[in-house]
Amino acid sequence: MEPCGSGLRLNSKLSLLPNLKKSSLFPSSSISSRPSVQSASWVSLKTPSRMTYLRGLSAQSKSSVEKVGDLISDRRDLVSAIKRKKLAVFVSGGGSNFRSIHEACVNGLIHGEVAVLVTNKTDCGGAVYAREKGIRVLVFPNTKGEPDGLSASDLVTALGSADIDFVLLAGYLKLIPSELVQAYRRSIFNIHPSLLPAFGGKGYYGMKVHKAVIASGARYSGPTIHFVDDHYDTGRILAQRVVPVLPTDTAEELAARVLKEEHRLYVEVTAALCEDRIVWRDDEVPLIRSKENSNEYS
């Protein structure tokens, strides 16, 4: 996959997710078996409570404790300095992942807000929830069943007018138009209920995926979050979470286990997106910088 026009590349093995300014670049470094670069001054890191630090430093001097306090304050300043991202979430059904992301935004776990909900079904559960929460709802695409739906070009215009930073697909069953993929290159993400590239592609969605996993005899499954390209489930993998497939599992039981991990994983990845913690290796593999340790990646 070619980097987009707005993307930036480091002299080392990692490049930043596009939309970061050159002034935000961190120093280069080489990659070993475990990718590592120097910490960037703009990166927001997870900030444990002051008491958590103090307990671990009880044997250290007062000056060391004061330094820790300064570090905590500096990290909090960095979090507030990062632009609060605007998200558009696409759903076709109940939207449980959408709800998890919205609640995490409201509770401050994600440095962003769901500004727009896009759906191909105006009466689906996700759309009803969005209207209840005062979130703008757009219908796409325009079909006989949804004559008020937007065209692809109108959708791109609407999202641009809303200043959307990232598009998150959460159970949206329509193929994303190429116009949107090009407009939001490396900024559209999907969650799939299997460990891609297994059990992915056209026709693999919902309970069909879990039935296929059980029928195959696979011992493990789990959600995958990947970048979206012009095809079903073929974009670069960003994150996965493994769950066991039990010998007595029904498709419904496996689906419930996977969905529980979906909710956790999508919130974690969305938080990383909104904190500018996604980087790219030279071989076009995206990585997530750890919030606790800026020299570790997953």
Reported as a pLDDT band with limits 50, 70 and 90, residue 148 is confident
Over residues 217-242, the pLDDT tens digits come to 999 999 999 999 999 999 999 999 99
The closest of 157, 161, 115, 125 to 140, measured between CA atoms, is 157
Percentage of the chain with pLDDT > 70? Answer: 73
Q: Cis ω on the peptide bond leading into residue 141 (within 30° of 0)?
A: yes
Residue 10 pLDDT greater than 70, yes or no: no
| DSSP label of 22 | G
Report d(CA 230, CA 59) in Å as an integer.
56
Taking the model in full, what pTM does it have?
Answer: 0.75
The chain-wide mean pLDDT, for the chain, equals 82
Contact 279, 21 (CB under 8 A): no
pLDDT score, position 17: 56
pLDDT score, position 145: 84
Q: What is the mean pLDDT of residues 103-121?
A: 97
Give whichever of 44-48, 75-79, 124-128 has the largest mean pLDDT: 124-128
Reported as a pLDDT band with limits 50, 70 and 90, residue 45 is very low
Low-confidence winner among 99-113, 143-157, 210-224 (lowest mean pLDDT)? 143-157
Residue 30 pLDDT greater than 60, yes or no: no
Q: What is the mean pLDDT of residues 276-298?
A: 93
Residue 50 pLDDT greater than 50, yes or no: no
Residue 71 pLDDT greater than 80, yes or no: no
Residue 66 pLDDT greater than 90, yes or no: no
Q: In this structure, what is the dihedral angle of CA atoms 158, 163, 165, 169, given to the nearest 10 degrees?
A: -30
231 as an active site residue: the answer is: no
pLDDT score, position 81: 81
What does each C-alpha distance from 14 to 28, 168, 195 come to in angstroms? 8, 24, 25
| Percent composition of the chain: helix, strand, coil (DSSP 3-state, to 5) | 35, 15, 50
Over residues 125-146, the pLDDT tens digits come to 999 999 999 999 999 999 888 8
pLDDT score, position 57: 44
- Domain definitions of the chain by residue range: 85-288
The CATH class that applies to domain 85-288 reads alpha beta
Contact 225, 294 (CB under 8 A): no
The closest of 221, 200, 113 to 164, measured between CA atoms, is 113
Q: Which of 102, 111, 192, 226 is catalytic?
A: 192
Residue 22 pLDDT greater than 80, yes or no: no
pLDDT score, position 61: 45
Over residues 240-256, the pLDDT tens digits come to 999 999 999 999 999 99
Residue 4 pLDDT greater than 60, yes or no: no
Contact 172, 200 (CB under 8 A): no
